[in-house]
Amino acid sequence: SQQGEEDPQALSIQEGENATMNCSYKTSINNLQWYRQNSGRGLVHLILIRSNEREKHSGRLRVTLDTSKKSSSLLITASRAADTASYFCATDARSQGNLIFGKGTKLSVKP
């Protein structure tokens, strides 16, 4: 069963704009992670946020976590064409033991 669900499924923006993707999950977690997948490639880890953290930054990435709403958001600022990829959230559920991945948001950044 799917633990994390990303929203929207697809997002198209212009270069320079910000992109926001959301992830909702169902059960208590130890941490939540975001991954990027370029077409035809494996997933690449972007950022991990623990359940006791509310916000984390890494370069142009900003991740927030709201455990009361069981949701997270990934913000990419000043997007570039190279940010075009699918983005997945993955949750480390306390009850389950392994990472569970959502179905992803497909981001297209037009030059």
Partner 1 sequence: DAGITQSPRHKVTETGTPVTLRCHQTENHRYMYWYRQDPGHGLRLIHYSYGVKDTDKGEVSDGYSVSRSKTEDFLLTLESATSSQTSVYFCAISESGSGEISYEQYFGPGTRLTVT
Q: Does 41 bind partner 1 (CB under 8 A)?
A: yes
> CB of residue 17 vs partner 1: minimum separation in angstroms?
26
Q: Which of 86, 106, 94 is nearest to 37 (CA)?
A: 86
Work out which of 23, 74, 79, 102 binds partner 1, going by CB under 8 A: 102
Q: Does 28 bind partner 1 (CB under 8 A)?
A: no
Q: Does 25 bind partner 1 (CB under 8 A)?
A: no
Q: Alpha carbon of 20 to those of 31, 61, 80, 93: distances in Å?
A: 20, 10, 14, 23
What is the DSSP-derived secondary structure letter of residue 2? -
Three-class SS of residue 96? coil
Residues that bind partner 1 (CB under 8 A): 2, 30-31, 33, 40-45, 48, 88, 90, 92, 94, 96-104
